[in-house]
Amino acid sequence: MEGISFGVMQGGGGQELQPEYDLMILGAGPAGLTAAIYASRAGMNTLLVEKEAIGGEAASTSMIENYPGFPEGIKGAELTERMRSQAQKFGAQIVLAAPESLDLWAEPKKATLKGQPIRARSIIIASGTSPRRLGIPGEKELKGRGVSYCATCDGPMFAGKDIAVIGCGNSGLQEGLFIRKFVKSMTMVEFLPTIQAEEILQERMRSYDNVQWLLNHETVSISGQDWVESITVRDRAGGEGKQIPVQGVFIYIGLEPNTDYLDGQIELDKWGFIPTDEKMQTSTPGVFAAGDVRVTEMRQIATAIGDGAVAASSAYHYVDLKIKEQA
């Protein structure tokens, strides 16, 4: 980026951390990866930080059918891998780490990664969301032993088994359609009296005879010794409870924003999501947000990518203005 006194892109795709960057992006899902593509292509020395897996939740989606340009659909892992490759092609550096400290009010912004202090003129928060937990007995104890939040990751291990899917929104039915081809039977449990997923997903799921529906039912507990053995549900209308023998439970009841690590340094709404303006600017100057982590009407890959492009453009202009003010 011409005129920037530090962080001019010079082989940003390398592995060694530099002390200074034009832009640091927190989260390597579709929003963060897109921001990295746009920023690095514009000449910004860009660091993309991800604490778990490149691609975020999108990478674990078995098949994406509503992203433009892929009429036959595309696997989430393949789509996000293409984004990663493109970002690195333009020079973005990617590091797997979690910030050990973060000062968003400083100018430039400060962070510690792998014990090394880092400065960045601007930051984009694209840390996404995590699956919401039921918070019922047995869920935490049996996680990884029959309780799962990722059908793509764990579905094949339940071949020939009876399972339950908790939550009948888009995620529950999308992941249920993937699991269905492996399992003996699948019980769909929904807290509300109606299915919340798109009609096309409902039609597909209803066409299979090994799927049962329990609407207006609350999941009360998950039971088992070394592995899941059953769930207990309660009819919210009549109050009757019953136990359903299953060997697996997949939970899709919504998402929680990954914002705890921000420690009150930017404004959040009452659910923990980040409000922004149309330029993706947060309440803290020089800090932008993109994707599922921000307050938005839709949380889709297509909208996250749009957010990432806008956030990168805003960060570019913010840094450029700072340089001109200091000249």
Residues designated as active site: 150, 153-154
How many angstroms separate the Cα of 80 from the Cα of each of 54, 74, 162, 259, 327? 8, 10, 32, 22, 39
What is the CA 279 to chain-centroid distance, rounded? Answer: 21
Joined together, the tokens standing for residue 6 give: 């530090």
Packing angle, helices 30-41 and 301-326, rounded to 10: 40
Helix (H, G, I), strand (E, B) or coil at 268: coil
Which letter, b or e, does each residue of 47-64 get, where b requires 16 or more Cβ atoms within 10 Å of its Cβ? bbbbebebbbbbbbbbeb
How many angstroms separate the Cα of 235 from the Cα of each of 140, 196, 215, 229? 23, 18, 8, 20
Closest CA to 257 of 293, 282, 304: 293
Packing angle, helices 30-41 and 76-89, rounded to 10: 20
* Distance from C-alpha of 72 to C-alpha of 70, rounded to nearest angstrom: 5
Peptide bond into 108 cis (omega under 30): yes
Beta strands in 126-240 (DSSP E): 129-131, 147-148, 162-166, 185-190, 211-215, 217-224, 228-235
* Distance from C-alpha of 238 to C-alpha of 307, rounded to nearest angstrom: 45
